[in-house]
Structure 1
Amino acid sequence: MIKKTFLVTGGAGFIGSHLVERLAMEGHNVICFDNEFRGTFKNFSTDILKKITVKKGDVRKSRDWPKYSGKIDALFHFAAINGTPNFYSIPDIVLDVNVRGTFNALEYAIDHKIPHVLFASSSETYGIPEKFPTSESEKLVVPDVNNPRWSYGASKTMGEVLCVNYAKKYEFKCSIIRYNNLYGPRDQYGHVIPDLLKKIRKNNKFSVEGTGRETRSFCYIDDAIDATLIIERKQKNQVDIFNVGIDIETSIRDLIKYFERILNKKLEPKFKQKIGSGTSRRLPDITKIKKLGFKPKTSFDEGLRDTIEWYK
């Protein structure tokens, strides 16, 4: 394998840290750029830290970006603020980081003549999808501009628009990666699995918003990284969009049953009226990424066990 140089923004976060780790283990030169707002450089072992270059800074500030004079083969722009509680409590910062940060990433790519930009987008851009499985051609919708819940999805949609148009004008390759319900070690609170696990560990009786029949398609982080690297290496079109996830739905009720079996603990969830808004289903169409050779390897039971063990 040819050794390359990669810049990963948000490299200390959940997805970013796993990507940085994989690239470093493959022998590539990796620059990890993060301000540790949600992630931490402590995610990396001493061995990995010896293999990478760490740069602490804010993607919103041009002066903070790495001063690097060599060739960078690809920029993975993964820096963003997510987590549902943040959408409601700090929507202004969510928008600022996710939109201004993407603008700066593209300016950096142009200035440094980076030939490939990979942008971490999200299934949140679909808003409340009309079709299932949901393909990349589904409309991107902001269901309610008055509801801060959609600050994140809107910011990712804007990021996609920026990336596509900059790539076409300045003629670099661009990959839009719409991740769907990733989970695994280092996942942060504000997402379904870690938040539910936190409740369960406190008490076998706990409340859950909704009916429990809502579904998500949970994709293990290692599989998502496999898909990401396939895109970096095999994408042929100058600009392309990919769903990354799995095409299996799991209801919240079934997720709780998984927890019961793995933890060997009788659980007593109490379902209550949903306060927030959001789609009741997520099921991505992953035909496109499969055509490039992607095949999820991790069963939900296996991935969930590894995740629970990490949280312990």
Structure 2
Amino acid sequence: MSRLYYSRKRVMVTGGAGFLGSHLIDRLLAEGHDVLCVDNLFTGSRDNLVEAAKNPNFEFMRHDVTWPLYVEVDEIWNLACPASPIHYQHDPVQTTKTSVHGAINMLGLAKRLGARIFQASTSEVYGDPHVHPQPEGYWGNVNPIGPRSCYDEGKRCAETLFFDYHRQHGLDIKVARIFNTYGPRMHPADGRVVSNFVMQALKGEPITIYGDGSQTRSFCFVDDLIEGFLRFMKAPAEVTGPMNLGNPSEFTILELAEMAIRLTGSGSTIVRQPLPADDPKQRQPDIALARKALGWQPTVPLEQGLERTIAYFKQFT
């Protein structure tokens, strides 16, 4: 038999119909694996899986990870959870349940199967940081009872569960802390800053900035992030993370708005609104660990990535 047969794995991706999950599935299929996509389609979309669905090695299952799942797989990627404030604040109790119950169910499955499991955590575990840029050793500054807490604390609890399963049961885990990521297949109405600015610019609407626009973010193009995912998952078992994955190039929100206007050729103006509660003033990853352990760093500049994102969003205007 071919080497491909022996290297092929049956891989499960929860949240696979989402922005990141669908890009990950495309790469896994390209590597020759059998891929099971599990998604309840709360924020994901079958439209993101059009190409994947043409592949005979792809299978879709509609399922909510807050309920147990009994399947046979070699590897688990847990990406299931709404990731934008407008979506995760819609039903905050369900968001917390997805992070916590979902983690428990997927960890239990991984334990039964002896499978390596990847957790898509978030830079939001750092809250509104007092340390800049944020290294993995920083414990964060998070409000446990605010409107963003369902996501922030849900993801923090999920990390706790992953490392307790690792220590108590010897589970093979990978925990990635994902910083702001953008690119094709973002939901045009997800409320995140890139999609907001691009859609407003394409429609010629005023671009809404919250606060004075001096708050910073670091934007990683989706292709770069998925490459980091794959390298991390293939790293030796002792490389558990948590590991920051994101682009350390820092931009103010005002700079992003001005770039969106310029690249779309828009006549949009900029308007300001009050800053939302618990909105972080700074966000920039320290990726020294990823550089050392994975030989990984982003390669797509913001302007180039935005051009590709704008081309995708034009279909919605």
* TM-score of the two chains, using structure 2 as the length reference: 0.91
SS at match of 2:243: strand
Q: Deviations over 1:194-228 (max 9, x none)?
A: 12223223334343211111110000000000000
Please list, as runs of the form range in 1=range in 2, the aligned pairs for 1:17-32 lying within 5 A after superposition.
17-32=22-37
Q: Deviations over 1:244-277 (max 9, x none)?
A: 0011101111111211221112331022321332
Relative to structure 1, the CA distance from residue 241 to residue 206 in structure 2 (aligned partners, 3 Å threshold; closer, same or farther) is closer
In the alignment, which residue of structure 2 is the partner of 1:58? 64
Cα deviation for residue 46 of structure 1 reads 4.3
Relative to structure 1, the CA distance from residue 79 to residue 87 in structure 2 (aligned partners, 3 Å threshold; closer, same or farther) is closer
Relative to structure 1, the CA distance from residue 134 to residue 35 in structure 2 (aligned partners, 3 Å threshold; closer, same or farther) is same
Relative to structure 1, the CA distance from residue 47 to residue 120 in structure 2 (aligned partners, 3 Å threshold; closer, same or farther) is closer
SS at match of 1:119: strand
In the alignment, which residue of structure 2 is the partner of 1:44? 49
In the alignment, which residue of structure 1 is the partner of 2:165? 166
Amino acid at match of 1:122: T
Are 2:201 and 2:264, in contact at CA under 8 Å, matched by a contact in 1? no
Q: Partners of 2:178 and 2:313 in 1: how far apart?
A: 22
Q: Deviations over 1:275-302 (max 9, x none)?
A: 3322111110001111121021211111
In the alignment, which residue of structure 1 is the partner of 2:255? 254
Cα deviation for residue 48 of structure 1 reads 4.4
Runs of 5+ consecutive residues of structure 1 not aligned to the other structure: none
Runs of 5+ consecutive residues of structure 2 not aligned to the other structure: none
In the alignment, which residue of structure 2 is the partner of 1:121? 121
Cα deviation for residue 236 of structure 1 reads 4.2
Aligned sequence identity (%): 30
Relative to structure 1, the CA distance from residue 240 to residue 208 in structure 2 (aligned partners, 3 Å threshold; closer, same or farther) is closer
Q: Deviations over 1:167-198 (max 9, x none)?
A: 22111211110000011111121211112223
Are 2:201 and 2:261, in contact at CA under 8 Å, matched by a contact in 1? no
Are 2:216 and 2:281, in contact at CA under 8 Å, matched by a contact in 1? yes
Aligned-residue CA RMSD in angstroms? 1.7
Aligned length: 305
Relative to structure 1, the CA distance from residue 42 to residue 87 in structure 2 (aligned partners, 3 Å threshold; closer, same or farther) is closer
In the alignment, which residue of structure 2 is the partner of 1:297? 299
SS at match of 2:12: strand
